[in-house]
Structure 1
């Protein structure tokens, strides 16, 4: 079960109004708890069952997040702009640390591969890099705000 499937499961459970769901598939156990009033966030526990193997296990590196999706913006006024979207669900941070300067500001020139922000997902901080070169026109999300998969984060003028 990959991260995207787990995220979709969390969304489904939180929208269904169920208080708790337990799922076991193969070597993975997942427990998702929510409150019916919606006053506290849902909690997902992912537990991998031990696997009996004769060979020693080697820790695999954490998978890199998918590249952010860059698409032209929808409305007529900003149709010349490219929208940088979040590739994952998590918490959006504009700065690498609380005492540091933001990665980018409105009006900043960026190039392909420039780090624009960080999205924290399950205690992992994922740097979001630009897929286009250009100039930041608008930052669409406030610092330390939760973001959804495919949520627009930045508008970039590629010209």
Structure 2
């Protein structure tokens, strides 16, 4: 991907009204973040060289507006003993299999490996998300019917 294509992508994203776009191809990773007004606030361009060279080049395109990135508070030491179950896909998070059915899991529920915890709708397909561990659900980190990103934390599980 050359610089002209990247500049055209930045202009397209700025005019589209999207908050963030991540593009990953074989050897290129691009992240573009915009403000509510559509101004590009941050663009990161990473190109990985062939594995034989073992080096990674990174160039950051100058910022158009100042970046204000909220930082998360450091994880509490009590949360460090919990296992985080994350979303394997992008989609819409549902706690129930259908509106008239009970939720899959509640805070305090004991779960086993392989139990269905939620469904995530992606492109009109409902994907059951199964637990990778056994334990007790300590916290549900996402509201029902909310959009979720890839690798977004969904549940905290106490494995003891």
TM-score (norm 1): 0.56
1:88-119 deviation per Cα after TM superposition (whole angstroms, max 9, x unaligned):
00000000000100000010000000000000
Q: Point out where structure 1 has 5 or more consecutive residues left out of the alignment.
A: 1-11, 20-35, 39-73
Q: Which residue of 2 aligns with 1:125?
A: 126
- Structure 1 residue 75 displacement after superposition: 3.2
Matched position secondary structure for 1:132: coil
Extract structure 1 runs of 4+ deviating beyond 4 A: none
Q: How does 1:68-83 map to 2 (within 5 A)?
A: 74-83=75-84
The equivalent residue for 2:141 is 140
- The unaligned stretches of length 5 or more in structure 2 are 1-8, 17-35, 39-74
**Equivalent residue in structure 1 for 2:14, among 14, 17, 20:** 17
Q: Give the aligned CA root-mean-square deviation in angstroms.
A: 2.5
CA distance in 1, matches of 2:96, 2:79: 26
Deviates more, 1:75-84 or 1:90-99: 75-84
Q: How many residues align?
A: 98
TM-score computed with the length of structure 2 as normaliser: 0.56
